[in-house]
Structure 1
């Protein structure tokens, strides 16, 4: 909650009797005014001056003596770290971490330029591994989400270079990201860091599948292993943030299968050997279920519906119907869980998923033989009914939550006689 929001809204809360003036002052004291950060214009000016200097150096790089080039690289690297430490000591973590991150980028650039300067030709990623190690170390030392993001991106870039240029998969790079950043996330389950880490790990998994020339559906074994790790995380928000990218990938795959899979044109790239694939997926499912049971999250088990291997079915109507049933079942599970938990955000997501499944169903199953006006009529009625239901449910949730909120805000509870008089009679 921001202080600006409280300054604007809290007087109205006092007027409406939601809180008292004393409680308003307590809220304001709880969220004090933030110290003014360093002005944006000086930062932008410094960046432009730095870019100007870099442009001059880049334009004349080849003509500079080797000793001067090396001095420029070391000077910019040390200068970035020193400036970052200075601003951190002055209480400006955003700018400080930004400069530390710039130093990390310059460290990688120095490795590459030094190799070119002394014509050190390498056929492995051993030099770039130091870049990943440095990023992981800085992330632990400073505890910065920016540095975590940069380290994951650096790991992805190094792995991409290995796959594209060297034709190999660097297991060391993968384990540095999985082990180093994974342990960081486990100890500090920040939602932003979890999402960035999950995306980076999915990228690593995708590159591994490419190098192994495996069926692309093998991608979902490591993807759901990432999801299962989120089930074991004690912090619910941090674990959920790690799971979302894997769920998005699984949903998009099932959605694409519902649209394009009926022609059976993708069998050669979608169908791995049945028993090994199902065995690996079942093992990951067991890990996930154990984590859900340990953390009390078995209600999210229907999310595994998206991993049902419907691509083993032959193309045509059977595959289209099977994938649509899965999409509807998944959307229904999201709506049911949102209603139970009174979660408006999940209600919105469930409604969107339901509408998406309905659109695919109409266009795939009814467009060819149903009159177009009837198609739009049924679709509109269905969406209006869903909208009415969600609004009604939301009103019930708000009505149920209103009395406790009012009592917590200092409003005295109604007497028993008054509350009974306020209740409508069955004939009213």
Structure 2
């Protein structure tokens, strides 16, 4: 997604208008000139409407991904922690909406000019009758904000079942107001990575790996859940509460991804734009489908059974992988890129376990590992990019986000603490932190 890419409909209309008046001045029929002016004004209005429509519809599809993350996480955690996950997902979306207005948007887009950061200050949207450009400014702001909220959602699932609510919310406020906007400004805001030619169409790195790096830092500081790893190095799988909920969450995310990638075309005011959005939809769906099948086949080969959690994350891994470049690949290449994303998820989950890193929902393999792969794969189908520049972008965003997140998590741990007590963890965070159980009549106290 390139924020600086803007259609020149209004400029073109103005130029033709001047030519039409010039023609009239040299003896042409004034009525013909007026008709030309009217037609181009109508074309400009139509483009404005369709561009705005794209931002709004794709924006609410991306917003709906917040429900997908909530349901996926609710299904992947134990029943004694479901209400906590739902609370966190509602709260982080609200926090992202406010922080991106107060600080984030201008840091990301205002006055970056090839540098490393934008300006301070909250967003002031123009009045409708003074709204410049080829789309409503408010529609663009909304579309950018829901991307910010998606980054925050990634962190929630990885750190589930043992983190305190308020330290988590403090981190989310900093992530959505400062960290995500700074790295986003480097490319989408016209910063130094954009000047180098780094390409990340809809955010495999700028959204997904940023969330993945922040989650990894938090998981290292927080430590594993009680009982996840044995003293002898053994791994004890912890079953989630509801695979139907997790499956529903995955389908919601899959649906929302059409807005995530399709809306990143940033325009629907021409036949070429409409064709591009349609192709993006097809490639996005193909990559997700290939991620599912690849995960199914690989888990069958490795474990002699198909693991539903791996299959769901395989779909998400395929979606994350294609997000860096969903327009240029053929359908075949989309399947290959998405299939490798699904394979990487299946491989990365046990690798994290061997490293004693506890990621409850598989967010790090899905969003970080598949995000890196998708960004690296861009030059395969986009000849205007290079592997060297892509690697520089991945490394720069990763180093900044991981180090900054590690420092923030460390400060929170040393001051207010980030982890609940062992007693509260055993009881479940629904009772300990929220005071309301998700399933009071059915769920036993799980250890």
TM-score over 0.5 for the alignment?
A: no
TM-score by length of 2: 0.26
Higher relative contact order (CA 8 A, sep 6+): 2
Query: Which entry has the higher C-alpha Rg, 1 or 2?
Result: 1
TM-score with structure 1 setting the length: 0.27
Where is the helix percentage greater, Structure 1 or Structure 2? 1
